[in-house]
Structure 1
Amino acid sequence: MELQDFTANNFYFDDTVDPEINALLAESALNPLAAETELYLLRAHFIDSKDLHVIVALYAYFLQHQRWQDAFMAANKALKLSAKRLYLPTDWRQLTRLHIGQGVLISMVLTRFYLLAHKACATLELELGQVEEGYKHLKKLQELDSADRLALADLVHQAQDLYSEFYIIKHASA
């Protein structure tokens, strides 16, 4: 997922990073599988719980450790924070192309980050067994991204297969 491709030096936003947070993120990046890595990230989060660098680092850490619920919470927090900065809705059901256009006027790169956070949330909804929600979330994003800049086509196809299976099982047991 694209959110995990961001590093402390390569973000879709230009926030200044607190030097103490930067040091903790650098330390956590040295050995992402070490037991103390989560502690570095949590300390950074306690310093500034709204720092997108920290939230994305936590997201990547949780993904790497297959802690899907924690990764979802981090992605959702990134979504909410970026939505607030862009004055956009956090609920994907309310999202329109007009919203995206308004977001781009504020910051094109933060709007892309916001959309990638939506994609991460939708993908994790699927992983967490929220198949209908995840599929519909992805379909909405695909409607808004007719040029497939978010690379949703294959993911939506896979989600559609999951949703079809889910729908058959759900109605067979009813």
Structure 2
Amino acid sequence: MSETAASSDVNDWDQDLAANTVNEEEQMCLYLTKLFENSLSRAKKTKLHCSEVLVPERLIGQIAWDVLCLSSSEPCGLRGSVIYINMEIENMCKRLDRIVYDSSVVPTFELTLVLKQDGSSWPSLRDFFFIGTCFAPGFRQALRLSPGFRLIKKKLYSSSAGTVIEC
């Protein structure tokens, strides 16, 4: 086999490996996106007391990508994570969910996601009138999320200060 052919095979292998890595990252990002969406869906009536959560178009995908980036430098990667999802409403933080990505791995870091209510929009007129008996006092029709969020990383094996990403 010639040296050029061997070099070509190595380059093809490198490109295949890079393509597989990108595909794997995309799959993980999609999976994380689904986890976050499911978490918000479960929290609607139980913790957020609303019938729907309005999410900016690319917010959940951006959060999933940032989580992947923050976990890439960890010993076990995303598998070693515990993710807390919180919602900041009227200067109060409420815990919505706790996600353990892989329960068979001892966590090496925690990520705390703080979503924020969009305070710039006026409440809907529907929020002031409760239709029927299914809406208890304090129940709002829709909660609109702000496009901004905080992601806080705390290493469990290190005494160093956490990393905070504010978007």
The one of the two structures with greater contact order (alpha-carbon pairs below 8 A, sep at least 6) is 2
Indicate the TM-score class for this superposition, using the shorter chain for normalisation: under 0.3
Question: Which structure shows the higher strand fraction?
Answer: 2
Query: Higher Cα Rg: structure 1 or 2?
Result: 2
Q: TM-score, normalised by structure 1?
A: 0.25
Greater helix content:
1
